Amino acid sequence: MATDHATESTPPRETTVKKSITLRRSVVEEIEERAGARGFSNFIDAAAEHWLALLRAREIVEEHEHRVGPLPKEALEEARRAWRGE
């Protein structure tokens, strides 16, 4: 059921939806250790948002490769070095 109130992790006017999910016990325990039982939903929301951003980034790369061909190996190595701060 959607609600009209914002939480700490959702911007104003963004609705939330209550869902039931099944997770491995070890994952739940680690999330609760890191976020506390009350921060569980925020943690899962942030993790899902991060994963979706990674998927969108991959789609951008795939679209680019479809239009102009694969990224040159030199460009990939340069990006990896920049990512590592080299």
User: What are the sequence ranges of the domains in the chain?
Assistant: 2-83
Rounded distance between C-alpha atoms, residue 83 and residue 86, angstroms: 8
Which pLDDT score, from 0 to 100, does residue 57 have? Answer: 94
**What residues have CB less than 8 Å from 13, skipping those under 6 apart?**
4, 6
- Residue 5: which pLDDT band, with cuts at 50, 70 and 90? very low
Please tell me the pTM assigned to this model: 0.68
Q: Which amino acid is at 12?
A: P
Condensed to tens digits (0 to 9), the pLDDT of residues 22-55 reads: 999 999 999 999 999 789 999 999 999 999 999 9
Which pLDDT score, from 0 to 100, does residue 10 have? Answer: 58
**Whole-number mean pLDDT of the chain?**
88
Q: Is the pLDDT of residue 65 over 60?
A: yes
Q: Are strands 16-17 and 2-3 parallel, antiparallel or unpaired?
A: antiparallel
